[in-house]
Copies of this chain bind each other. A is one copy, B any other.
Amino acid sequence: MSVADPAAPTAGAAGVRALFNPTSIALVGATDKSGWSLNTHLNLKDFPGEVYLVNPRSETVHGRPAYPSLSALPGPVDLVYVMTPTRAVIEVMREGAGLGIRSYVVLTAGFGETGAEGRALEDEIAAYAAEHGLTVLGPNGNGYINAAAGVTPYGLPIPAGLPRGSVGVVLQSGALASAVMNLAMARSVGVSLLTSMGNETQVTVTDVLGHLVDDPETKVIALFLESIRRPDEFSAIARRALAAGKPIVALKIGRSSLAKSTAQAHTGALVGDDRVIDAAFAQLGVVRVRSLEDLIVTAGLLAQTGPLPGRRIGVVTPSGGASEIIADRAEDEGLDLPPWAPATVSGLSEILPDFATVQNPLDVTGYVVVDRTLLGRALDVATADPGIDMVMLLSELPRIEPPDPEPVVKMFTANAERINGSPKPIVVISNAMTDVSAFGREVARRSGFPYVAGGIEHGMTALGAALRWSETYRRARAAVPAQRGTPVRVPGLEGSPRGVWAEHRAAGLLSAAGLPVVPSALVETSEEAAAAADRLGYPVVVKAAAEGLAHKSDIGGVRLGLGSAAEVRDAGADVLAAMGKAEVDGGGLLVQPQRSGGVELLVGVVRDASWGLTLAVGLGGVWVEVLKDTALRLLPVDAAEVRRALDELRGVDLLRGARGSRAADLDAVADVVARIGALAAGLGDRLESLEINPLLVRGSEVEALDTLIIWRD
């Protein structure tokens, strides 16, 4: 996927930036009776600007003077945090707008989430905000924590010591914010801005993503998603993030919801919503994770490393058992652990104890307890290995402060200098996921020791994800834009194509676009069919040809392996009779040479309700019908992306010549499939689906044997 021509920032970018950077704040609806109010007020105690409390019925709130209204405030305000009853929210906005206040965070609930009545109130807010150029976060959201700027209008307790840093967090579930912050603290992952989205009446996830892509304090974005409301906007922002080298790490729930089949063609059933999201994320460089732990650990790792150079990893550990767990997990993640180069082997042999085994992963042995320099010296030798792109070091920050911490700090400082000065990236992962202790944080701070990913399990998941993201990032930088589809001029397309196009018409479209299609003759009688078969050469196939007939086989409309004119005449008569019986209008016969051998693919393009045209490619027969073995891509795709899709198929070995089959020219296949995608993308908004089943592959010969196109009405 190309990152050229990224979408422009969304319209409200300046408003969103202002929302997150106020210089004075009014808490409207502040009251001693509300925990939310208490929390928000407490959270803002270090806010450098003014914080005003507004309550029409109390002169004092939280031990401070309160004002009856926004108009009564003694100074200007540029953010209103709204905690009033539901019906009063619009009044607050009206008053604020009149005073020129543009930014609102609405904690108040009782809107769209409660039913139609609340929905109407929420619509009123949205309309008012749009009309008056206001920026509204929420309602029914806890607010945000701009940790970088120390601006924290947020209604729940913020854990003491939440580290500031470069991970932007965007949450569609406010209830998870505490868990996410506790995890970030436990893992020493610093946060730039955390936003609890609420109902997204106006400011949406994509608005906040856009802000974070532009935010110099943010290097990585961690995202909890329940639904993607505007895939087009999301795609545009994701492309912009990828172009900027800012990874988006996303926990998108709803994997288990059953996919809705939206298309009539076979492909439709193969494209589950969630699999399309997987495909979209992979193409867009959005790292999809499956747990809160992976969300934070992966974001933390990418914030430390940025793009990583390659998959060849040298592993240095002080533990044999851990080395073996790492080897298992590296294979899961598709990482390479090449053998050390000869010079590395001899270098390591010189410094390691005699009983150590020099291999990758390297166990420098428990002698680290005796010789505190051993691990660092081994790291130097390993990092210099010419056959690796990067090093993974297994190391723990200390948990308990010893009576004299200085030797510990000294050791970590020495290794930190090694790591931070290394020409190759060195990623540090600990044994298991236990919290970084206060002493561990202190040692890291004093020594400059880098981020330690929390445990082999999640650390290796993060490393694998980071490397896949890095590859997508590099491809995006190198790519020329994929064809978005060129409008195609074909007889029949000038009007408004509709319904199901019969095979001969669909195949004609493919041919006109220069795609390889099996030769065929469209005839009206069985006698003409026999004559056509004589010309084409035996054996042949005779098929029913009629507009609107999507499933020829269902009416007995396909006859295979016809070896003589007589057989063709009989079969033709049978098919015509079957079409008559099925009351198919205006039917004819399609005669084609019968192909044998090769591997059959299914190539389908279907319009996903959310994400638009989606390409599915898979092996035919049981592979799609029983195994659902297809790879999906959003259009547009280039041939290289199709090639990667083919490589994902479980049955790809059949294309590579398994079981004595002729090895397919996968580049030739990818080229044809990419051109099919480009054709489909050029067919306009009325295309519902285009399916070629089978696309026959014999070596470098690729040929569409049957094609079906369905148009939207």
Instruction: Report which A residues bind B (CB closer than 8 A).
Output: 35, 109-110, 113-115, 118, 159-160, 171-176, 178-180, 182-183, 185-186, 224, 226, 251, 253-256, 290-294, 318-322, 324-325, 327-332, 354-355, 366, 369-370, 396, 399-400, 430-435, 455-458, 621-622, 625-627, 650-651, 653-654, 658-659
Contacts and interface: CB of A to CB of B under 8 A. Distances in A.
A324 B253 contact: yes
- In the A-B complex, list the 7 residue pairs whose CB atoms are closest, starting with the nearest: A173-B321, A175-B319, A291-B457, A179-B431, A256-B331, A253-B324, A114-B355
A370 B626 CA distance: 51
B255 A328 contact: yes
Contacts of A186: 434-435
18 contacts: A159-B400, A173-B320, A173-B322, A175-B320, A176-B319, A179-B396, A179-B430, A186-B434, A186-B435, A224-B321, A226-B320, A226-B324, A253-B325, A253-B328, A256-B331, A291-B456, A293-B432, A293-B457
A224 B319 CA distance: 13
Contacts of A324: 173, 226, 253-254
Contacts of A399: 159, 182
A192 B179 CA distance: 31
Contacts of A626: 650-651, 653-654, 658-659
Contacts of A35: 369-370
B658 A625 contact: yes
A276 to B, nearest CB: 16
A253 B627 contact: no
Given A171-B321, A226-B324, 18 more contacts: A35-B370, A114-B354, A174-B366, A175-B321, A176-B321, A176-B431, A178-B431, A179-B396, A185-B434, A226-B320, A226-B321, A253-B324, A290-B328, A291-B457, A293-B432, A433-B433, A625-B658, A627-B651
A432 B183 contact: yes
A183 B434 contact: yes
A342 to B, nearest CB: 22
A654 B182 contact: no
Give the one of A291, A435, A653 with max B CB within 10 A.
A291
Given A321-B171, A434-B183, A658-B626, A455 B331 contact: no
B290 A457 contact: yes
A321 B141 CA distance: 13
B292 A325 contact: yes
A122 to B, nearest CB: 13
Contacts of A329: 290
Contacts of A182: 399, 432, 434
Contacts of A369: 35
A293 B435 contact: no
A436 to B, nearest CB: 10
Nearest to A396: B179
Contacts of A432: 179-180, 182-183, 291-293
A172 to B, nearest CB: 7
A269 to B, nearest CB: 13
A595 B293 CA distance: 55
Nearest to A253: B324
A392 to B, nearest CB: 15
Contacts of A178: 431
A682 to B, nearest CB: 34
A333 B386 CA distance: 43
Contacts of A109: 355
A27 to B, nearest CB: 18
A322 B456 contact: no
Nearest to A326: B253
Give the one of A118, A160, A659 with max B CB within 10 A.
A659
Contacts of A354: 114
A253 B361 CA distance: 14
Give the one of A109, A224, A253 with max B CB within 10 A.
A253
A453 to B, nearest CB: 13
